[in-house]
Structure 1
Amino acid sequence: MIIKALATGVSNLLVSLTLLAGATSFVPSAIAQQTQQTRLYNPIPLPPSNQVSDTLSERDIPTGDGGFARDYLVRFNQGDNIAIDLTSDNFDTIVTLMSPEGATLAENDDGPDGTTNSLLFTRINQTGNYIIRVRSFGETGGGAFVLRVTRLRPI
């Protein structure tokens, strides 16, 4: 009787340990899945001031040209006339405006002032969430930059 009770106890313990081992093997998988989800593409919402001082670094999106890009999400309305101004003392800037579908609508490398800063003017034809991509030209690196978006008003 004692041996039978002891055998039953050991059997229950083995079942519990097996279930526990199965549960712990699930935990790393769940953590890995959650880590992959946090690595998904998440553009940074442009603050209500429509201006941001930030830093482009090697932790941003690789462009394939040796440089990096950082994306900002902004909502525009049909008919908006906008100016996107990107300045940096650290790298040669390029600013790109992408449609809600991800197509490149407009891009500027060097602004009219003769510097390597970027200035882009465009009119919005469709209301939606747009991406403004800040990137460096080629392998010019990164560093601090200022991005300003201005909605122009007719006079």
Structure 2
Amino acid sequence: MKAIRWHRTPIVPVTLLVLCLGAVSARAQNKVYNPIPVLTNNEVADTLTENDIPTGEGGFARDYLVKLNAGDQVAIDLTSDNFDSIVTLMAADGSTVAENDDGPDGSTNSVLFSRISETGSYIIRVRAFGETGGGSFKLKITRLKPI
């Protein structure tokens, strides 16, 4: 007759396992979407790559976080020699406040103007038109003074 061998397998309560996995998932989710804060000089020189947010149109996007006040009038300039740019200003809830594809000079650079109605955090999305790829770009946010 063979002896029965018992293996010691740790038994982890399901509740504890779910809590641990939930904490790992929450940490991972926090790293998934993190808009880049715009510094006080309101200018960014950066690069759009295939590691950024897929747009679903074959291109990619990168988001920046900026605080704006009610009554602010802003001009947002996005320039690139590497891709056809689109700039979008979004409210914290993800709704589009304003968007521009091409600037008034007829180039593929983008410029948009907007008057801010509510104080809060806004997202500026830099993206390439369609599948035009990525590359280096400059983003500038100017708060316009009323006359």
Same structural fold, with TM-score higher than 0.5 when normalized by the shorter chain? yes
Report whether the alignment pairs 1:37 with 2:29. Answer: yes
- Counterpart of 1:46? 38
1:93 to 72, 85, 101: 85
Q: TM-score, normalised by structure 2?
A: 0.83
Alignment of 1:1-155 (within 5 A): 18-19=9-10, 33=25, 36-155=28-147
Root-mean-square deviation (CA, aligned residues, Å) is 2.5
Moved over 2 A (4+): 28-40
Question: Quick one: which amino acid aligns to residue 146 of structure 1?
Answer: K
Question: Quick one: which amino acid aligns to residue 90 of structure 1?
Answer: N
Identity %: 62
Question: Quick one: which amino acid aligns to residue 62 of structure 1?
Answer: P
How many residues are matched? 138
1:102 alignment partner, SS class: coil
Deviation at 1:105, TM superposition (A): 1.0
1:54 alignment partner, SS class: strand
Question: Quick one: which amino acid aligns to residue 116 of structure 2?
Answer: I
Question: Quick one: which amino acid aligns to residue 48 of structure 2?
Answer: L
Q: 1:137 to 1:154 in 2, by over 3 A?
A: same
Question: Quick one: which amino acid aligns to residue 131 of structure 1?
Answer: I
Gaps of 5+ in 2: 1-5
Structure with bigger gyration radius: 1
Gaps of 5+ in 1: 1-10
Give the number of the structure whose residues are more often helix, by fraction. Answer: 1
Deviation at 1:50, TM superposition (A): 0.6
| 2: CA distance, partners of 1:72 / 1:31 | 26
| 2: CA distance, partners of 1:33 / 1:100 | 23
Q: 1:79 to 1:142 in 2, by over 3 A?
A: same
Q: TM-score, normalised by structure 1?
A: 0.79
2:29 alignment partner, SS class: helix
Deviation at 1:102, TM superposition (A): 1.2
